[in-house]
Structure formats: structure tokens, C-alpha cells
Structure 1
Amino acid sequence: MSRKPWDLAFTAAPVEVAALRRVMRLHLGIWGLHHVIDGAQLCVSELASNVITHVGRGTPATLAVSINGTHLRIEVHDPDTRALPTLIDANSDAEAGRGMAIVDAVADRWGVQLYPDRKVTWCELRTGLTSPSGHLEGPGVLRAEALLSLYGAVVWPPRSDLSRMTSARTEAAVVAAITDFLHWLRVHGCDADEVLDRAQTHFEAQIAGAEDQSRQAVR
């Protein structure tokens, strides 16, 4: 899957924060990163609200989102290089700084980069991707890769990096594994065709469920 970086200019205002949350949900749904939507929306809200509170309403700003390695990177750019985000003690009664405390709790890491004309406040969330354009490390995928390693298969790389030789070798290992399971079913008196049909039905139901989640995210 191609997960290309994107950015969106916005004006620091409460109504814009809600719009940014909707856009974030839309893009992460398209990217198949449904499980990080809530955390990403929360971080976007706090980073944008930080600009409203400490830089000022009406400030021109930019939201930039990308994949950094296997992390989701969220950046908010604004023109004030003096108003730096602060992190307060969670037990403090002060109101200022609570937004960054929330980001600190949700994200794996965050920071601030200063440039002559702007500052960039960023945070990164773990996605579970095996590579920037690869699949998610779901339990089923991990179990399959562990099993295929017994057949001498190469751990499946992103499609863009998959050579013909590697593809053929991995697919041969998959065929060998399925064939061995069919032999096991036959030896134990099971109907191999019925099991294959049930597996196909179960697989298609999982794919349909994932597609439904993606459509709901787009709405």
C-alpha cells in the first residue's frame, strides 16, 4: 500500500480542530491504520489547540502527516518560534501544558524543531507496520510467517521489493504448508475440501470486515 505524505494548511481556530480530526480519520482509514485513529485524532487536537492557546487564534498553520519508518508522524507547523510547547507535571494544578502531557501519554515520542521562519511540533505513534508500505503485524500474519520459516521461506517483504525468485520461493513454501495440512486432514479422516471451503469463507469474511471498517472511516 502506498502511504504518501500529505499536508493541509489551516487557521488556528476551534472549528478547524474538528475538521482536522475528520481529515485524519479519513486518511488513516484509507491507509488501513484504523487502530491508531483515536490516538492520532487526540494528538492532532492537542497540537492544533496548542497553537490556538499559545500562539493565537487566526494563526496560519499546517498539519503534515507521514510514515516515518513504521511510525505515524504528525507535525503541526506554525510561525512563532518563541512560544514553545511545555510539558507539566501530571500532578500540577496548572492548566497550561496539559495538552502536551496528553500527547506525551499517547505518542511514543514527540519533540519540537526550530527553523528561522517557523517551528514544528511533532509526535510519532507506533503503527504495527512491518515496513512503511507493508502489512500490519496482525496475529494471523505473524503466525503464518513463523510457520513458513519452518519451510525455508523468506519473510515476505513489501511487494515493491519482491523479486521474482523470492516470490516463487515464498509461494512454494506456502503451497508446501497447505499440502502438508491437507495430508494431515486426510490421515485423520477429515474432509479436506470442506475444510478448505470453510477457510476460504472465513478469510473472505475477514477481508469484508476490514473493508467495511475502511468505508466507515471514510464517512
Structure 2
Amino acid sequence: MVIGHCMSRKAWDLPFLAEPSEVAALRRIVRTHLTLWGLPDVIEVAQMCVTELVANVITHIGPGTPTTLAMAMNGTYVRLEVHDPDGSALPTLLSATTTAESGRGLALVTAMADRWGVIPTEKGKTTWCEIATGLTRNDAHVDVPQVHRAEALLTLYGPSVAGSSSLTRLGLASWEEAAITLIADVLHWFRAHGQDPDTALDRAQMHFEAELHTAG
């Protein structure tokens, strides 16, 4: 059984000043949004791309440059954009040597992202990259059997869950409450059969982490 609800992945943008001290915060913001979007597998690549795109602004335009980071879904790809006010020189991919002090940033983006480019704008330029997610559509969940099995079980825990066609904040709260109730009921089952619920939780956590490791 496949549940027909969808994941809301709303585009966002964040103005900032291109300073080295801002990069860590930008990386955390990207991680937070991709976690909420249910796309943990692309977090590391997205963070590295943001680091290189912002470093490109700092290096070639200067620290303190007013810049904007934007993130959205383009089909099944995560799209990252860095907008800056300098449209006079468009970045190009250089063949950086192992001893070069610059020129490696876009080479790293090329290696990590699935595609990238530069768009001149009226206010400067936009440097963008896109990362494949493996989704079947842009509002879908990661298509793994464990998720489908869990959602099939969760629909048994009340009409408010079964009727939630999208993961709005209210809909997500219903699904989370149903999941917690399901976990609690399973722990009661273990206790009723003379088993230790804590041991069951530990084994489930180990199994979950092992599957993540295998998938990664």
C-alpha cells in the first residue's frame, strides 16, 4: 500500500554578508532544511557546494559582499543558488594545479553536484548547482520499502492521519503522534510477552543504524 500524501518542500532564500564567519551558519541552515525535507542523503554534498560557492564570492568579489543563498526543488533535484551583485566577471571552471591557491572551488562543485551554471541578472549574477535526490517526484518521500510499510501501519491509528493528504505542520503533527502511539503500543506488546522494552528499543536502533550505513 502506497500512501498518497506529499512532502511540502517550500523554496526559501536568505540574504547575508559574504564573510568566512557566516559559512558555518549557512551550512547549519542547509542541513536543517534538508532534514525537514526528508533528504538527509544530500546534506553533505549540499553543504560542501554552499561552502565553495560562498568562498567564490569572498575570494573574487570581496568579504562583506551582500549575497543571497536560495534553495528550492527543481523537479527531483535540490537547487542551490548564490546571488551576488557583481555581473562584470562570470566564474569559469579552471584547471587548477595541486599547488594553485585558487581556482579549485568550481572544480569541487563540478565533482560533487550533478550540474551547475552561472546566470547574469539585472542586479549581478546567480551561480547555481543542482544535486540529484533519487526522488520519483519533487513532493514525494524517499522511495524505500521501510517508509511505505510504516505509513501503511500508521493509517490504522486514526482518521486524522489517514486523511492527511500533505505534510503541512498540522498534518505532520498528526503523523508524528500516530507514530509515537504505534511505538508505545509495540513496547506494551513486548512487556506483555515478558520481554524488556528497553532491549527492544536498543535492538531497533542498532538495526536502523545498520540499514542507514548499508544504504550510505
* TM-score category, normalised to shorter length: 0.5 to 0.7
Match of 2:38 in 1: 32
Q: Give the SS at the match of 1:104.
A: helix
- Residue 29 (structure 1) shift: 0.6
What is residue 148 of structure 1 aligned with on the other side? none
Segments ≥4 residues shifted beyond 6 Å: none
The answer to whether the 8 Å contact 2:42/2:133 transfers is yes
Choose 1 or 2 for highest CA Rg: 1
Q: Which amino acid aligns with 2:25?
A: A
Q: Does 1:20 align with 2:26?
A: yes
Q: RMSD value over aligned CA atoms?
A: 2.7
* One-letter amino acid of the structure 2 residue matched with residue 71 of structure 1: Y
SS at match of 1:60: strand
Gaps of 5+ in 2: 1-6, 149-164, 167-199
Residue of structure 2 equivalent to 1:54: 60
Report the CA distance between 1:135 and its aligned residue: 1.6
Picking from 122, 126, 132, the partner of 1:120 is 126
Superposed displacement of residue 87, structure 1: 1.0
Superposed CA offset, 1:83-129 (max 9, x none): 32121225464332200000000000000000121200000000111
Equivalent pair of 1:54/1:83 in contact (CA under 8 Å) = no
Distance 1:12 1:141 in 2: 39
Length-normalised TM-score, structure 2:
0.64
Select between 102-111 and 89-98 the one with higher mean Cα deviation.
Answer: 89-98
SS of the aligned residue for 1:9 comes to strand
Greater displacement, 81-90 / 62-71: 81-90
1:41 and 1:88 map into 2 onto residues whose CA distance is: 22
- The one-letter code sitting in structure 2 at the alignment partner of 1:138 is V
Is 1:43 the counterpart of 2:68 in the alignment?
no
Q: Secondary structure at the match of 1:38?
A: helix
- Taking the aligned partners of 2:115 and 2:106, their CA distance within structure 1 comes to 11
SS state at 1:74 partner: strand
% same residue: 58
The TM-score, its normalising length taken from structure 1, stands at: 0.63
Count residues with an aligned counterpart.
153
Contact (CA 8 Å) 1:128, 1:136: kept in 2 or not?
yes
What does residue 83 of structure 1 align with? 89
SS in 2 for 1:84: coil
Contact 1:74 1:122 in 2 (8 A): yes
Quote the Cα distance in structure 1 between the aligned partners of 2:140 and 2:67: 31
